[in-house]
Structure 1
Amino acid sequence: MNIPYLYDAGALIAIDNGDRHMWARHHLALEDGRDIHVPSVVVSQAWRDARRQVRLGKFLAGCDVAPVGLETAKAAGILCGKAGTADVVDATVVVMAATLGAIVWTSDPDDIRTLIDAQDIKPAPVIRTV
């Protein structure tokens, strides 16, 4: 059984910037048959210009871009309150990762760790740095 991956904006920005390590991780994950998730609000954080982000568009084609429903949105807001933070996108990443049992790929491990600690669930999602 493969543990799914969930990418935050840092992973998408790394791809958009041509980060070879992130591309390699992504291709290996696809070869391993991993499910790869990206919350739709994460795409909003990273997407700016389709003409200049062709590479990112191709990358996203290999991911499950998941809409954020009402219950996830509420849970992310509650988590921000518990953690004393305001980044609802990071909170959404943590809520979805916990629900999916996913490994989070992020460029902000400290911010994600703060939210995971505030969520206080076991087992906590695993964090990997882009």
Structure 2
Amino acid sequence: MSVPYVYDAGVLLAIDGNDRRMWAIHHLAVEEGRRLLVPSVVVGQAWRDPRRQVQLGRFLHSCEILPVGLELAKAAGILCGKAGAHDVVGATVVTVALACGAIVFTSDPEDIAQLSAASDAKPGLVIRRI
């Protein structure tokens, strides 16, 4: 069983910009049968114009979009409080990744690392810069 990936908005923006490296990472993950997780709030952070983001829309069909319900939202808010942060979307990414034992792909590894450290989870997250 392979380790899941959680994508942040930076990944979605890279895909939207046709970043070849991120496409290669994603295609390999699909071939390996990994779970590819995107919290729904991450989609909201990156989605702007469906007429221009057709490629991103197709990409999202190959991912598992996770709804952010009350308990996940509370956990992300608590994590923001612990970290002294305001990025609830990043905190949601970290919360999902910790719950699933996933690797986080992000354009902002410093913020993700700060949130991960504030969670006190052991072992910490594996974070990959895109």
1:59-80, CA deviations, whole angstroms, 9 ceiling, x for partnerless residues?
0000000001111100100100
Amino acid corresponding to residue 26 of structure 1 in structure 2: H
Give the Å deviation of 1:124: 1.5
Measure how far apart 1:90 and its partner are: 0.2
Deviation at 1:8, TM superposition (A): 0.2
Aligned length: 130
Alignment match, 1:99: 99
- How far the C-alpha of 1:125 sits from its partner, in A, is 1.7
Deviations 1:56-105 (A, max 9, x none): 00000000000011111001001000000100000000000000110000
TM-score norm. by structure 1 comes to 0.99
Q: Which residue of 2 aligns with 1:12?
A: 12
**Superposition map of 1:1-130 within 5 A:** 1-130=1-130
Unaligned ranges ≥5, structure 2: none
* Secondary structure in 2 matching 1:123: coil
TM-score (norm 2): 0.99
